[in-house]
Structure 1
Amino acid sequence: MLTPFGKFCRKLRIDRNEILKDMASKLNVTVSYLSAVENGKRSVPAEWETVIFQTYNLDDLQRWELKESIIETEKVIAFSLNETGENNQVLLKALARKSEDISEEQLKKVFDILK
């Protein structure tokens, strides 16, 4: 699952006729590390906003889009459902679907159970 930051980077690469390896090289990281950041398995390093802005000569609008993609990505929590059992998958999916509908009282009960 690509994060908003991952989507921004993919579009930037497509627009510049680059592949993941090209961008990873410019960021001085491995392809697997960049991929992990784009997929939300690792956080976006703080310095990347400036590095990407300068390396790719982004205009003000593109810089704003980059910054917004980083902010939105920080709000995302990613789980690898392949690495967990079926019951855990069902639970995580249910929590994700219902997260906005759960009352404070219900959240407290869930937290108490998890303690």
Structure 2
Amino acid sequence: MLTNFGKALRKMRIDHSEFLKDMAAKLGVTVAYLSAVENGKREVPDEWLEKLTNEYNLTSNERKELQEYAYENKESLKINLSGIQREEKELALAFARSFKDLSDEDMRTIQQIFNKR
């Protein structure tokens, strides 16, 4: 089943008159791997957002939309905690520990905070 991320990639290729093999080469992967990501059989590698942004000169809105699509099917996220202050690290870990226990209101409040950024 083609994912929203896969649909966006396909549109990007068509807009640039490229084949699957062309995009796969730009991403440094096989055609089979790219196809599996498009079809939701593999998760979107995190480094692809940066590569796609650079290769296809995506606007900040296009990148944000692509990132949202990439995260739709993720079952886990990896957070790089190196180089951040102790308080920031503690906040990230506390959020991860209690994420599943947040009420709907808590989630709305947190989302409002993030939307202000």
Class of the TM-score when normalised by the shorter of the 2 chains = 0.5 to 0.7
TM-score, with length taken from structure 2: 0.60
How far apart are 1:71 and its partner, in Å? 1.6
SS state at 1:41 partner: coil
TM-score, normalised to structure 1, is 0.61
In 1, the alpha carbon distance for the partners of 2:61 and 2:24 equals 23
Distance 1:53 1:18 in 2: 16
Partner of 2:68: 68
Residue aligning to 1:2: 2
The alpha carbon displacement at 1:68 in A equals 1.3
- Structure 1 contact 4–73 (Cα < 8 Å) conserved: no
C-alpha distance after superposition, 1:49-107 (max 9, x if no partner) = 111111111111211111111122326xxxxxxxxxxxxxxxxxxxxxxxxxxxxxxxx
Q: Which amino acid aligns with 2:38?
A: E
The number of residues matched between the two structures is: 75
Q: Is residue 11 of structure 2 the alignment partner of residue 11 of structure 1?
A: yes
Deviation at 1:40, TM superposition (A): 0.9
CA distance in 2, matches of 1:6, 1:50: 16
Query: What is the Cα-based RMSD across aligned positions, in Å?
Result: 1.2
Q: In structure 1, what is the Cα distance between the partners aligned to 2:74 and 2:8?
A: 14
Q: Which runs of 5+ in 1 are unaligned?
A: 76-115
Task: Name the SS for the 1:44 alignment partner.
Answer: coil
| Runs of 4 or more above 3 Å deviation | none
Larger relative contact order, structure 1 or 2 (CA cutoff 8 Å, min sep 6): 1
Structure 2: gaps spanning 5 or more residues? 76-117
Matched, 1:22 2:17: no
What amino acid is aligned across from residue 47 of structure 1 in structure 2? E
1:23 is paired with a residue whose SS is helix
